[in-house]
Amino acid sequence: MNILEVKNAAFNYERGKPIFENLSFSLQAGHILSILGPNGCGKSTLLNCLAAISTLSSGEIFLDGKAQRSLTRKEIARLIGYVPQMSTLSYGYTVLDYVVMGRAPYIGALSTPKESDAEIARNALVKMGITHLAGRPYTEISGGERQMATIARVLVQEPRVIMLDEPTAALDFGNQMRALALLKTLSREGYSVIMTTHTPDHAIMLDDTVALLDRNGNFEAGGVEQIMREDALSEVYRTPLKMVYVPEAGRTTCMAVNRG
């Protein structure tokens, strides 16, 4: 059964033209959906709708077979973990305390985290390779480190679906590769993953389902070879692109054409 299903989804701001409409797709457990598209096409808006931060203008979202609108916030938080592009925090919680906050869906309103919650958080820091940041104030670490801590915070939610909005944008090249490897590991562990990205090669490297969302709100999803076409990518990004097989890398890469 699909863990996530979107049927005829549409979204528009009041008195504005639709950001997207007639958008439908599904996602099964253990699969990754990489969403590509230009700035302003609605990728973040779509994730906000999936996470119930924004409300669709029309259409339905189903989580684990249940209509999203019938679920409570806590029920949604146990199904979906969301890593936004930027996470702001004014108070200087330690990184460990910040990650423990991800246990909120499992802690009563008047209760405090238990040692078992802290242990789950410490394990998430190990998984992300940032145990050395545990005692540091969240407000004093770099943007890339904050992104890694936010992913750890989502992991402790123990959701079924992990959604990430351009998760590699603030990361250096090495951490980008480690983040992609982590997403593949999570999918093998049974998590479903949805990631937006501006880097076609990341979708190629994840090698699962890819979707293109264009400036007109058109959404097309399928396998890498089906979606990652030179004509489609060149049109979406408004620049000539070529898909080139690189023997040294053992894979195809997306390259911009040198226009001199």
Q: List, edge to edge, every strand of the sheet that includes 192-197.
A: 80-83, 161-165, 192-197, 32-36, 209-213, 219-223
d(CA 9, CA 60): 6
Q: What does the pLDDT read at residue 40?
A: 87
Structure tokens at 249: 């890398």
pLDDT in tens, 171-228: 889 888 988 998 999 999 999 999 999 999 999 999 999 999 998 889 999 999 999 9
Region 226-245: mean pLDDT is 93
Residue 259 is predicted with a pLDDT of 66
Band of residue 91 on the pLDDT scale cut at 50, 70, 90: confident
Average the pLDDT over each of 29-38, 109-118, 228-237 and give the range with the smallest value: 109-118
- The two tokens of residue 80 are 């979906």
pLDDT value, residue 13? 85
Q: What is the identity of the amino acid at 141?
A: I
pLDDT at position 87 over 80: no
Q: Which amino acid is at 28?
A: Q
CB count within 10 Å of CB 155 equals 24
Q: What is the DSSP string of 136-165?
A: SBGGGS-HHHHHHHHHHHHHTT--SEEEEE
pLDDT at residue number 89: 67
Residue 70: CB partners within 8 Å, gap ≥ 6? none
Q: Tens of pLDDT along 102-151?
A: 999 998 777 788 999 999 999 999 998 899 999 999 989 988 888 889 99
b/e sequence 75-99, b meaning 16+ C-beta within 10 Å: bbbbbbbbbbeeeeeeeeeebbbbb
Cα 33 to its chain centre, rounded Å, is 9
- Token pair of 161 as six digits: 């679906």
The yes-or-no verdict on residue 5 having pLDDT over 80 is yes
pLDDT of residue 223: 94
pLDDT-derived band at 44 (thresholds 50, 70, 90) equals: very high
Q: Is the pLDDT of residue 232 over 80?
A: yes
pTM: 0.91
Residue 249 — very low, low, confident or very high, per pLDDT cuts 50/70/90? confident
Q: What one-character-per-residue DSSP string does 9-55 give?
A: EEE--TTS--SEEEEEEEEETT-EEEEE--TTSSHHHHHHHHTTSS-
The confidence score (pLDDT) of residue 252 equals 92
**Average pLDDT score over residue span 46-73:** 95
Angle at 164 between CA 45 and CA 127, to 5 degrees: 165
Residue ranges of domains in the chain, CATH in brackets: 2-64+160-256 (3.40.50.300), 88-159 (no CATH)
